[in-house]
Structure 1
Amino acid sequence: MLQHPKVKGPNIGLLGFSKGGDLCLSMASFLKGITATVVINACVANTVAPLHYKDIIIPVLGSELQKQKNTDLGLLNLVDIWNDPLEEHNQQSLIPLEKAHGPFLFIVGMDDHNWKSELYAHLASKRLQEYGKKKPQIICYPETGHFIDPPYFPLSRASVHSVLGEVVFYGGEPRAHSKAQEDAWQQIQIFFQKYLNGKKSVQHSKI
């Protein structure tokens, strides 16, 4: 990343959403030079596919598809299918956040119907503090769904799941979700400016 012409350096920040979020948690845990990490609606355990890094393999957090539900419109609701990462036989899938050197910001949509994102953010916070690490920043947005895009992107309440190939419900109420996207955009900039550039304040984007 530092060799990329678009990367200013010397610090690197990561921003990940959903599966990309747990990949960023893994990168921050294993790679050097990660100074700040923002995670939007992600799991605290490894998901979808086993993670391989050198001689380390983090298995997938299992799921039980029979626990999926259907909305009134016939869309899949997956929030309850994921196994509890704290159960003993699932703990190997937990990402070792305590190995990370930089701070975390968790952005949470409280109406996320893909992950139990608020629960996972607080599990991450508890784990970090148990290992003597700094408590992460967690920002929760009521009535906000899974896809917290940059401001003025339309709310995506449902889409075809890239793995299942079926239409999945992601939650969110239009007005609250739109406001959350605006605020989250600013909060992410403030976080990165503070930990990448050492600035306590940031000029708000006009977007």
Structure 2
Amino acid sequence: MLQHPKVKGPSVGLLGFSKGGDLCLSMASFLKGITATVVINACVANTIAPLRYKDMIIPHLSSDPGKYTITESGFFNLVDIWNNPLEEPNQESLIPLEKAQGPFLFIVGMDDHNWKSEFYAHVASERLQVHGKDRPQIICYPGTGHCIDPPYFPLCRASVHEVLGQPIFYGGESKAHSRAQVDAWQQIQTFFHKHLNGEKSVKPSKL
């Protein structure tokens, strides 16, 4: 990315959502040249599959699929299937955020039915502070579900999951979710402009 002609450098920022979020946390923790990381509704532990980097392996966070529930509409609610990453032996799946070079911004939908995103964001904050790092910026949006897209995308409360092949419930209430998308988009841009360009604000989006 740093060699791409469109990339200003000397560093890059990362933006990840859901599983992509914990991948970004891992990249920020192990790779050089990353000085700002934003994650949207993500876990603070490695998920889904083991992560291999050089001679190290971070196991995936274990789960109990039997703890899923089904909504009145027949959608799967997965928020309770994931085991607590703070409990043994799940601690081995925690991503060592304290190794990262730059700050973090956690965008949290408080009606996320895929991950306990608010809990994970606060776990990340406590871990960073225990290791003498600055606490991350955490922005929580009430009534907001899992899929926080850029502004004016329609609310996606449920869909057939590409990997699981099942109809999954994501949560979110239309009005609150839409407002969150607009605000989160501005917060993300402001964060990147501040930590990549040294600017404190960004002009409102015309999207």
If the TM-score is normalised by the length of the shorter chain, which range does it land in? over 0.9
Q: How does 1:75-94 map to 2 (within 5 A)?
A: 75-94=75-94
Cα distance between partner residues in 1 of 2:8 and 2:79? 38
Instruction: Give the structure 2 partner of residue 189 of structure 1.
Output: 189
Cα distance between partner residues in 2 of 1:160 and 1:22? 22
Letter in 2 for 1:68: Y
Instruction: Give the structure 2 partner of residue 27 of structure 1.
Output: 27
Instruction: Give the structure 2 partner of residue 130 of structure 1.
Output: 130
Q: Which whole-Å deviations, capped at 9, do the CAs of 1:78-136 have from their partners, x for residues lacking one? A: 00000110012001100000000100000000000000000000000000000000010
Cα distance between partner residues in 2 of 1:155 and 1:118? 20
Cα distance between partner residues in 2 of 1:26 and 1:109? 21
Letter in 1 for 2:35: T
Instruction: Give the structure 2 partner of residue 109 of structure 1.
Output: 109
Cα distance between partner residues in 2 of 1:6 and 1:162? 31
Letter in 1 for 2:55: D
Cα distance between partner residues in 2 of 1:79 and 1:99? 28
Cα distance between partner residues in 1 of 2:34 and 2:49? 23
- In the alignment, structure 1 residue 49 sits paired with structure 2 residue 56: no
Instruction: Give the structure 1 partner of residue 151 of structure 2.
Output: 151
Cα distance between partner residues in 2 of 1:105 and 1:141? 14
Cα distance between partner residues in 2 of 1:160 and 1:51? 25
User: Could you tell me how far 1:163 is from its partner in structure 2?
Assistant: 2.1
Q: Structure 2: any 5+ residue segments left out of the alignment?
A: none
Instruction: Give the structure 2 partner of residue 198 of structure 1.
Output: 198
Instruction: Give the structure 2 partner of residue 61 of structure 1.
Output: 61
User: Could you tell me how far 1:37 is from its partner in structure 2?
Assistant: 0.2
Instruction: Give the structure 2 partner of residue 142 of structure 1.
Output: 142
Cα distance between partner residues in 1 of 2:177 and 2:205? 19
* Aligned residue pair count: 207
Cα distance between partner residues in 1 of 2:50 and 2:5? 31
Letter in 1 for 2:91: Q
Query: Mean alpha-carbon deviation: is it higher for 167-176 or for 197-206?
Result: 197-206
Give the ranges of 4+ consecutive aligned residues of structure 1 lying more than 3 Å apart after TM superposition.
Answer: none
Letter in 1 for 2:183: D
Letter in 1 for 2:44: V
Cα distance between partner residues in 1 of 2:141 and 2:101? 27
Cα distance between partner residues in 1 of 2:115 and 2:201? 32
Instruction: Give the structure 1 partner of residue 5 of structure 2.
Output: 5
**Identity rate of aligned residues, in percent?**
78
Cα distance between partner residues in 1 of 2:36 and 2:63? 30
Q: Structure 1: any 5+ residue segments left out of the alignment?
A: none
Letter in 2 for 1:161: H
